[in-house]
Amino acid sequence: MSAVDAQALLHGHRVMPVYTPASVDEARAVACALQAGGIGAIEVTLRTPVAMGAVAALVREMPDMRIGAGTVLEVEQLRRLKDIGAAFAVSPGSTPELLAAAVELEIAYLPGVATGSEVMAALAAGHRLLKVFPAEPINALELIDAWRGPFAQARFCPTGGIDAARAREYLRRSNVACLGGSWLTPADALREGDWARVEALAREAVALAAE
């Protein structure tokens, strides 16, 4: 059994919003605004009690969008995500158990990496699209450049502290398949229910990725 190809699943979705839901209704509104702006994939972080329910609702109601979940820390979370039909799962790091379970459960999985050893462990388990986290604090641009040689088969999804201005630099790297960012769903826009702003930020991100 081999790992599900997360890179193929997310092909073309170069900017992926990373969003933490306050309610299922908010998640619906956010996902609709992002989709209206041209975004086709979203990572819903499992950091609030409503997050798993929000993922389930979006999977049911938005079949044309790749609905994934982040901050996956336990194998049981992977199992629940598989059961509700999530398209992919993302972790801030990885464990041998999570790497193996993703293959066993046949769910696309982006394990988090910040060192060469972690990249090697993920590759050995069959995963090729890896989340680099936390991108900005660890100066991931230089890491990604350095990894191009020894890890030519790997592709990366840097996440963590990236804004629209920095996104352009990451997307220019040939081994960056996509990136994650919370700047598309700013806290004040969510608080005010300003879905037009979220849609506008989505349109700007899509245009940035097309450069």
**181: domain range?**
6-209
Catalytic residue among 61, 76, 131, 169: 131
pTM recorded for the entire structure: 0.97
Q: Is residue 111 within 8 Å of 131, Cβ to Cβ?
A: yes
> Is position 82 annotated as part of the catalytic site?
no
Catalytic residue among 43, 82, 136, 169: 43
> Is position 43 annotated as part of the catalytic site?
yes
Domain CATH code at residue 15: 3.20.20.70
- Is position 1 within any domain? no
- Is position 50 within any domain? yes
Residue length of the chain: 211
Q: In whole angstroms, what separates CA 179 from the centre of its chain?
A: 7
* pLDDT tens readout for residues 136-165: 999 999 999 999 999 999 999 999 999 999
**Is residue 27 very low, low, confident or very high in pLDDT (cuts 50, 70, 90)?**
very high
* pLDDT tens readout for residues 167-199: 999 999 999 999 999 999 999 999 999 999 999
Number of domains the chain is built from: 1
- Is position 104 within any domain? yes
* Token representation of residue 89: 């799962």
- Is position 51 within any domain? yes
**Residue 1 has what pLDDT?**
84
Q: Is residue 37 within 8 Å of 20, Cβ to Cβ?
A: no
